[in-house]
Structure 1
Amino acid sequence: MPLFIVAAGIVLLLILITGFKLNTFVSLIIVAFIVALALGMPLENVVSSIEGGLGGTLGHIALIFGLGAMLGRLIADAGGAQRIAMTLINKFGEKRIQWAVVVASFIVGIALFFEVGLVLLIPIVFSIAKELRISILYLGIPMAAALLATHSFLPPHPGPTVIAGEYGADLGVVLLYGIMIAIPTVIIAGPLFTKVAKKIAPDAFNKTGNIDSLGEQKTFKLEQTPGFGISVLTAMFPVLLMAISTIVDLVQNSVGFEDNTIIEIIRLVGNPSSAMLLSLLLAFYTMGIARKIPIKQVMDSCASSIAAIGMMLLIIGGGGAFKQVLIDGGVGDYVAELFKETSMSPLLFAWLVAAILRISLGSATVAAISTAGLVVPMLAQYDVNLALVTLATGAGSSICSHVNDAGFWMIKEYFGLSMKETFSTWTILSTITSVVGLGFILLFDASFIIAGIAIVLISVVAIYFSTITPIKDKRKALGA
């Protein structure tokens, strides 16, 4: 009965969002109330459960998410993201242009949220494709793969950040594992999949695309932008701080030396909230003061970034409210009891639940947060790496982007694709990111190493045998 109520609640959520076109946040709150009542929660506890879920979720993520949005916007508005992309493209050269786009998109994707990174990088991809007379999709697929992987696996993006907080996972460990998993996943879902996509949807690679809806883009002459090194440092600074703290903790646990003042300072600086604040202060200088940009203009960029993510914060809070109702209503305990005698790994379970919710609801973030309500009670029964469960949930929430996902329509419209072509490229790309990401996550889990190797090998072999046709000339190699 509890699972039936949850399923009915998800269907109702889908109807409210897609059928009645209600705001996602409002729909989540309505469904949270209805599901709470249907589960038989005491009436006096319904509101407190919803408020607790909303506040608890935002209390953990709001600081990181808000500071991260400001950091990304400062790098974009100062031209740092453009400098990173153009420098890498010039260094890699025409023959390796895809790899330049992958590396640039990955670095930019760490600092910028998916939609922002997409809007920022697409004009650059279009201009490079036009200059080299190659297909925009030839560069667009690697770009989208890198942005999706960073969005799914790496803090400070909302999904992994929120999930880590719900599961009690160390955010620094999530970041380190996430980078190691995201890099090979991007290679397979990006440059390698591009060769397969050209065979599945060859006409899509002849489309010219249309970015008129983006309006006039803010562009810079290269000499007007910050230096490449300082731009990369500013974008990667929170990653470096969190990584150093995590590595020190891992060494301490292995060697066993006692805490001291230096260790405590490193731990404070490497805390995600502290790391984001210090990175923002660095960006104030490198992207603003050092370039003689008035502080008011810097603050305007910060203000506009928060205005842009205001609704996203509410949606995340609504997802947290729905998650808390599932926990307080006993659904999580019911699921834990249901799977008590099963041998299914929490990694596979978290991925499966997130995948089902993602396909149903469209929003990767809402799917990931809602999954926590079903998975958290189950974790007490298993000795499992919480960072890997976090990443498995993120992987599941990236699967099969289709018509109920805003990203699907952005890719379709910007690249001028038909519905069939969008399914054949973007939807498959998101599914590859999810499945291959799961494969590498299982590789990190010793008990499932064989399953992980099998998934990865099957993916690589399938791609290899679909790309053995020799490339006859340079023009064809570049996707013309």
Structure 2
Amino acid sequence: MPLVVVGISVLVLLFLMTKLKLNGLIALLLVAVGVALVQGIPAAEIGDTLGEGVGSQIGDTLLVVGLGAMLGRVMGDSGAAQRIAGRLVDAFGPRHVQIAMVITAMLIGVTMFYEVAFVIIVPVAFTIVRVTRKNLLWVGLPMSIALSTMHSFLPPHPGPTAVAATFHASVGHTLLYGLFFAVPIGAAIALVWPRLPFVRRMDPSIPQGLVTERVFEEDELPGMGWSLFVALVPIVLIAGAAVADMAVDDDKNPVLHAVEFIGSAPVALLLTLCLAIWAFGPRIGRSLDEVSASCVSAAKSMAMILLVIGAGGAYKQVLVDGGISDYIKDFTEGWDISPIILAWLIAAILRIALGSATVAVVTAAGVVAPLVAGSGAHPELMVLAVSCGSIAFSHVNDPGFWMFKEYFNLSVLDAIKARTTYTTVLAILGLGGVLAVEQVLDALSI
């Protein structure tokens, strides 16, 4: 049974990494090869499958994570990140830095991919940890939870947007309905989770090389104007492209094409990095050699993180090519339950089995799409149900899990305790939010 294969592979992976202390890259690749053989992928094709999985995952994240890490290190080594972190601490107070991180993450995360927003904000979180001497998860976990909520629940993120097209749902209405429950649920979990006893017992250190060790004096810091301006440039560019794409229907509009070009995450981050190199280099008297050294240091620190993320993509790919998604699709056909709950369940099962939220939402949408017209369910709520289900139970077959683990310098078991639990609770509460909105819309006869 394919689901048994998935369960055993996860247990083997945990054994290799926790008991044998095997490197994450090697463990993931070994398990991926084992799953491929068990699922009947021809031996001659396994190498191509692994390469496809690594390539697709790294292709999506290499430039974003690499450029984002360089940008964060340049801002950190110049004192710009400390300037922004200090202003946030001054505005909210040391006791309320979590609220500052949640607000920042939600505003940025509405239009930006989780990975993009994460690498932009995390240097500020690291700096706040050093300034306030708070636990890393006390500051960083609320940020991650808020970003996960925005990315997984709402358009214009790729999963919900793709499902909206499948269900012929209004992207605008989906976003509007989703905001009603995504914001309070995401904020509540973000503030509660770091306070749970099993999370508070974790005390990870900041990964070496991703943030400067230097603490600047006040007169050494760059101005707040330049620091904030550079930090906001990629947000404005990427968010502007997302808004323009929703607002303009003409695909041949040359202005839209130009906006989409500079608003694509890699280009926006590259432009911002060039701006940061000048603004926090020659403009303030630092040589280009010093700034280049910051970029090199960040790249070296990211090497193993990217390799582990890529290996997570390889593991995910053998699960997909091994036919597990098709098995789940056939297994769930004919279930006689509410289409909203069915959509959530199928997406959650696919997410647990395959790890990829995008594969989960697209496959689940294909299974339940025929039910939408005849059931009378609101298509926008079907989109939100699938999207909420796709965030459930993030674990070792999810490349995003490894990014979370590596950036927060956690063991595999601690990452499961922190991330797997919060994503599952978000998914369950999200389903409750969808059902509540359905009752309101039915009562209002909308």
Tell me the TM-score normalized by structure 2: 0.71
Is the counterpart of residue 245 in structure 1 residue 233 in structure 2? no
The CA distance in 2 between the partners of 1:99 and 1:55, in whole Å, is 37
Aligned to 1:331: 324
The CA distance in 2 between the partners of 1:41 and 1:214, in whole Å, is 39
- Aligned-pair CA distance for 1:288: 2.3
The CA distance in 1 between the partners of 2:289 and 2:10, in whole Å, is 45
Is the counterpart of residue 122 in structure 1 residue 129 in structure 2? yes
User: Number of matched residues?
Assistant: 397
My pick for the range that moved more, 433-442 or 144-153, is 433-442
The CA distance in 1 between the partners of 2:141 and 2:240, in whole Å, is 27
Aligned to 1:380: 366
Distance 1:44 1:98, change over 3 A: closer
The CA distance in 2 between the partners of 1:382 and 1:78, in whole Å, is 52
Q: Which runs of 5+ in 1 are unaligned?
A: 127-135, 358-366, 413-418, 454-480
- Aligned-pair CA distance for 1:100: 4.8
Aligned to 1:85: 85
What SS does the aligned partner of 1:218 have?
A: coil
The CA distance in 1 between the partners of 2:313 and 2:161, in whole Å, is 13
Q: Which amino acid aligns with 1:397?
A: S
Is the counterpart of residue 270 in structure 1 residue 263 in structure 2? yes
Tell me the TM-score normalized by structure 1: 0.66
Aligned to 2:437: 449
Aligned to 2:232: 236
Q: Which amino acid aligns with 2:290?
A: Q
Is the counterpart of residue 227 in structure 1 residue 223 in structure 2? yes
Aligned to 1:18: 18
- Aligned-pair CA distance for 1:37: 1.0
Distance 1:67 1:294, change over 3 A: same
The CA distance in 2 between the partners of 1:34 and 1:210, in whole Å, is 32
Decide which of 300, 304, 312 is 1:311's aligned counterpart: 304
Aligned to 1:299: 292
Aligned to 2:394: 397
The CA distance in 1 between the partners of 2:349 and 2:47, in whole Å, is 30
Is the counterpart of residue 39 in structure 1 residue 39 in structure 2? yes
Distance 1:352 1:296, change over 3 A: farther
Identical counterparts, % of pairs: 26
Is the counterpart of residue 435 in structure 1 residue 425 in structure 2? yes
Q: How well do the aligned residues superpose, as a CA RMSD in angstroms?
A: 4.8
Q: Which amino acid aligns with 1:123?
A: R
What SS does the aligned partner of 1:21 have?
A: coil
- Aligned-pair CA distance for 1:74: 1.6
Aligned to 2:55: 55
Distance 1:303 1:442, change over 3 A: farther
Is the counterpart of residue 147 in structure 1 residue 143 in structure 2? yes
Task: Encode CA deviations 1:109-145: one digit per residue, 9 max, x unaligned.
Answer: 946478766543322122xxxxxxxxx57xx775234
What SS does the aligned partner of 1:57 have?
A: helix
Aligned to 1:75: 75
**Are 1:85 and 1:105, in contact at CA under 8 Å, matched by a contact in 2?**
no
The CA distance in 1 between the partners of 2:298 and 2:230, in whole Å, is 17
The CA distance in 1 between the partners of 2:54 and 2:241, in whole Å, is 29
- Aligned-pair CA distance for 1:59: 1.8
What SS does the aligned partner of 2:367 have?
A: coil
**Are 1:102 and 1:143, in contact at CA under 8 Å, matched by a contact in 2?**
no
**Are 1:346 and 1:378, in contact at CA under 8 Å, matched by a contact in 2?**
yes
Task: Encode CA deviations 1:405-458: one digit per residue, 9 max, x unaligned.
Answer: 95899689xxxxxx9xx99xx957984565247645875x6x7734999xxxxx
